[in-house]
A and B are shown apart, each in its own frame.
Chain A
Amino acid sequence: AQSVSQHNHHVILSEAASLELGCNYSYGGTVNLFWYVQYPGQHLQLLLKYFSGDPLVKGIKGFEAEFIKSKFSFNLRKPSVQWSDTAEYFCAVNIPSGGSYIPTFGRGTSLIVHP
């Protein structure tokens, strides 16, 4: 079965520290990759996505992610985190299934940023 793996389940950082969250997927075909963020008490929203072109994708709030096809990875980065980045982060891949493209999510990474 196709899967999405997020290596870090819980990350605790101090403000201004750099962030990198890992995401690997197992599907071998053309992929479309997403990072979603869920702030405390809120619903999920899109952070950034990749579907073609430049493998370095920039999203909202200073986040970026790099698609490395040879490593089946789509890691999320931010050079300097803020307290407001405290949230849960989900990596997702749209995988073909029965003529449609169905999202598959990783288990999520909980990020806590201390002021």
Chain B
Amino acid sequence: NAGVTQTPKFRVLKTGQSMTLLCAQDMNHEYMYWYRQDPGMGLRLIHYSVGEGTTAKGEVPDGYNVSRLKKQNFLLGLESAAPSQTSVYFCASSPSGLAGRTDTQYFGPGTRLTVL
């Protein structure tokens, strides 16, 4: 049982390049999330998904796209990377007991992205 995994762990991009971050969970969770963590800003929600085939915008969605084609995977895409997207990206998942009200989130190890 690996929990939540993220690939890659580190990546350096040049401005304008594109990339996709992959998140996978093996706990059969319904909900998945992408966050970015910046110094002094805490965790900010980028996009989330409440089930296979559904996605929704979070607090800071601009410049990112997501897809949830399979229940266990949640992809985060950057179409044209900008230096402002330099950050640590965390994926999380949670079950949907009681419609998510009491859910604990399970986090992946993070991806450190630098955009030059």
A binds B: yes
Where the two chains meet, the residues of A that have a C-beta atom closer than 8 Å to any C-beta of B are 6, 9, 30, 32, 34, 36, 42-46, 49, 51, 90, 92, 94, 96, 98-108
**Residues of A contacting B: mostly:** strand
Where the two chains meet, the residues of B that have a C-beta atom closer than 8 Å to any C-beta of A are 4, 31, 33, 35, 40-45, 48, 50, 56, 58, 90, 92, 99-105, 107-110
Contact partners of A105 in chain B: CB under 8 A: 35, 42-45
The reply to whether A101 and B42 form a contact with Cβ atoms under 8 Å apart is no
Known A43-B110, A100-B31: A94·B101 in contact at CB below 8 Å: yes
Cα distance A32–B104 in the bound complex, in angstroms: 10
Cα distance A11–B58 in the bound complex, in angstroms: 29
Contact partners of A43 in chain B: CB under 8 A: 4, 90, 107-110
Contact partners of A100 in chain B: CB under 8 A: 31, 50, 56, 99-100
Contacts across chains A and B counted by CB atoms under 8 Å: 66
The reply to whether A101 and B104 form a contact with Cβ atoms under 8 Å apart is no
For the A-B complex with A96-B101, A107-B42 known, give 10 more contacts whose Cβ atoms are closer than 8 Å.
A34-B105, A43-B4, A43-B110, A44-B105, A94-B103, A101-B100, A101-B101, A102-B100, A105-B44, A108-B42
The reply to whether B109 and A107 form a contact with Cβ atoms under 8 Å apart is no
The reply to whether A51 and B40 form a contact with Cβ atoms under 8 Å apart is no
Contact partners of A104 in chain B: CB under 8 A: 45
Cα distance A27–B50 in the bound complex, in angstroms: 22
Indicate which residue in A6, A102, A108 contacts B58 across the interface (CB closer than 8 Å): A102
Contact partners of A44 in chain B: CB under 8 A: 43, 90, 92, 105, 107
The reply to whether B102 and A32 form a contact with Cβ atoms under 8 Å apart is yes
Cα distance A92–B33 in the bound complex, in angstroms: 14
Cα distance A104–B60 in the bound complex, in angstroms: 12
Q: Write the chain B residue with the least CB distance to A94.
A: B101
Can you identify 16 A-B contacts, CB atoms within 8 angstroms?
A9-B40, A32-B102, A36-B107, A43-B4, A43-B90, A46-B104, A46-B105, A94-B101, A98-B56, A101-B99, A101-B101, A102-B100, A105-B42, A105-B45, A107-B41, A107-B42
